[in-house]
Structure 1
Amino acid sequence: MTPAPTERLSRNGAARDISVSFEFFPPKTEESEKSLWECITRLLPLAPQFVSVTYGAGGSTRERTHQTVTRIVRESDVPPAAHLTCVAASKAEVDEVAQSYWDAGVRHIVALRGDPAGGVGSKYEPHPDGYAYSADLVAGLKKIGNFEISVAGYPEKHPESRSLDEDIDILKAKVDAGADRVITQFFFENDIFLRYVDRVRKAGIDIPIVPGIVPVHSFKAVSNFAARAGASVPDWLAQRFDGLENDPATRQLVASAVAAEQVLDLRDRGVTHFHFYTMNRADLVYAICHLLGLRVPAAA
């Protein structure tokens, strides 16, 4: 499953410095595992900078995340990034997981506080013997090994933050603890992301800020996800998907157009790295990468 070199072309065929990364979630069933690996096999030849594998609320998918990440290490040359959270685990338990990743050859962690173990609507409570917040987790990981560490950023602020300024202060604490990259929550209005980048830079944060992009496979599902994540869904987006609930073919075409407009506009405004929340579905993401100019050589 070693990916072939990828040609990166601009509209006029010239070389262009575009890179991508992909996020997957670990499978829950044998059937979903097959779908996941079909997705991974389809996307890895695009030579992503890295691929990340999520971690369920309260660490509920710890073993499946570990199995997926270590298999990517064994079967490809693409660096995997394992999600790791603070929720419902002591420092010793989290450190053990991190050490097991290091021993398996994983050198990149996406460090997150994590959702409350009680689910949506419940209050986050730090584990009494655990890392309280993601900045603490970042610092702890750096003591275990020289991990590359990505952290989350929220262009419209985290739902629990009182203001965007407070949210950026929290981000700065993560960077000061050793974070190497910010991957943002998804958004649909590019101006929101670009204004966020400006404010983050003014706060003295100079590490890469990568936009998170979610293709709209299901408008209802993405709307529900956005409500939980504190991301706004503009009226124009709802109008584009209106009436397509029972028309998957047209919905797919509209989703392609929406995502293409977003990423091409960001590219034209200077963005060179895109992080795609794949939902373990490859075709739409692959098409968007094609529009960005990524090509798999014919020999592959």
Structure 2
Amino acid sequence: MTPPADSYGLGPRHRTSLFAESVKDVRISFEFFPPKTEAMERTLWESIKTLEPLDPAFVSVTYGAGGSTRERTHNTVKRILTDTALKPAAHLTCVNATREEVDAVIRDYKEAGVNHIVALRGDPPEGARKYEAHPGGYANAAELVAGIRAIGDFEISVGAYPEKHPDSPTLAADLDNLKRKIDAGATRAITQFFFDSEQYFRFLDHCQSYGIDVPIVPGILPVTNFKSLKGFAGACGASVPAWLGELFEGLDERPQTRALVAATVAGELCRRLYAGGVRDFHFYTLNRAELTFAVCHMLGHRAPLQQGATA
């Protein structure tokens, strides 16, 4: 005798797979970091070429702490412009530079045809305990956004923190700061990574209560190394659930298994967000294309079939 569906204690939400819903309207974007070596450069461009067919809305290129990768960031952004069909977004910070120096970078991007900047306060330089504004520089991200807006009609993305920035004393103070960035001219916010969809939706509610009405795009980090993840999380104020650590326990020497677990975790998170109405997703790729490609595939965002290919 076949038992009725509810005899297993499964409610209506759980009787259908998260992956059953057809997805046609997702918009994605990717974040890369500039390479330090020739080998890393090859990996970066292989990753870019692998993900390019997914037709992202934009791809962003990070800045190192203290502006340490400034030249590499600029070179990577400009090469994306010339060698691909992608739309690059350049990260820009306030750290270790005067307003005049930062403004010169903004104008250089404008002349090169870069129309999207990710404006961030930036992390303290290596060895510094806390962030301090550079004398004569932009004091914070809100000031930087206003400076960018004064120079050109850029698309401007800023950071958002579902669990608050580590330097903010309270979530309310952090939301006040985000509101200042939006009021200064930012057009979207991209969140720090998280692993609980409800955490993101609660954050959306908080943003709405503060009158923040720009898109709040969830930042998705497919986990490649759990030890490194804990370091990232500590630096940005993100919590790592105990269940995630248990999933990766014993897999230090099994990179392929780690990748399978990582894709499953991130794919499920994206599908839960989609079921809640999210249509824009930003992926922190760590320059690892296959894992991000797999998560996009699980989300339902596919590269178009090549001519002559079969489904």
TM class by shorter-chain length?
over 0.9
Pick the aligned partner of 1:188 from 181, 189, 195. Answer: 195
Deviation for aligned residue 1:297 = 2.2
* Residue 200 (str. 1) matches residue 207 (str. 2): yes
Matches of 1:275 and 1:118, distance apart in 2? 27
Correspondent of 1:76 among 59, 71, 84: 84
Tell me the SS of whatever aligns to 1:224: helix
Counterpart amino acid of 2:133?
A: P
User: Is residue 248 of structure 2 the alignment partner of residue 236 of structure 1?
Assistant: no
The one-letter code sitting in structure 2 at the alignment partner of 1:59 is G
Please identify runs of 4+ aligned residues in structure 1 that moved more than 3 A: 10-15
Q: 1:5 maps to what in 2?
A: none
Aligned equivalents of 1:176, 1:298: Cα separation in 2: 42
1:94 to 102, 105, 123: 102
Aligned partners of 1:210 and 1:165: how far apart in 2?
20
Counterparts in 2 of 1:111 and 1:260: CA distance versus 1, 3 Å: same
Aligned pairs for 1:1-300 (under 5 A) are 16-119=24-127, 122-299=129-306
Residue type matched to 1:84 in 2?
A: L
CA distance in 1, matches of 2:39, 2:256: 23
State the distance in 2 between where 1:298 and 1:134 align: 41
SS of 2:117 mapped into structure 1 = strand
Alpha-carbon contact 2:263-2:295 (below 8 Å) kept = yes
Assess if the C-alpha contact under 8 Å between 2:263 and 2:291 holds in 1.
Answer: yes
Given that residues 24 and 301 in structure 2 are in contact (C-alpha distance below 8 angstroms), is that contact kept between their aligned partners in structure 1? no
Shift of 1:235: 0.5
Q: Distance in 2 between matches of 1:222 and 1:178?
A: 32
Contact 2:22/2:300 (<8 A) preserved: no
Identity %: 58
The range that moved more, 205-214 or 11-20, is 11-20
Provide the aligned length of Structure 1 versus Structure 2.
290
3-state SS of the aligned residue for 1:125?
coil
1:210-261: per-residue Cα shift (whole Å, max 9, x none)? Answer: 0000001111111111011110000011111111111112111111111111
Q: Does the C-alpha gap of structure 1 residues 57 and 15 become closer, same or farther in structure 2, counting only changes over 3 Å? A: closer
TM-score (norm 1): 0.94
Which structure has the greater CA radius of gyration?
A: 2
Q: Determine the C-alpha separation between the residues in 1 that align with 2:113 and 2:296.
A: 28
AA aligned opposite 1:177: A
Whole-angstrom distance in 2 between the partners of 1:249 and 1:161 = 38
Give the unaligned 5+ runs of structure 1: 1-9
- Residue of structure 2 in register with 1:6 after alignment: none
Deviation by residue 1:32-79 (Cα, 9 ceiling, x = unmatched): 000000000000110001000000111110110000001111122221
Aligned equivalents of 2:231, 2:22: Cα separation in 1:
40
SS at match of 2:146: helix
Query: What SS does the corresponding residue of 2:190 show, helix, strand or coil?
Result: strand
Encode CA deviations 1:178-214: one digit per residue, 9 max, x unaligned: 0000000001111111100110011001000000000
Q: 1:12 to 1:238 in 2, by over 3 A?
A: closer
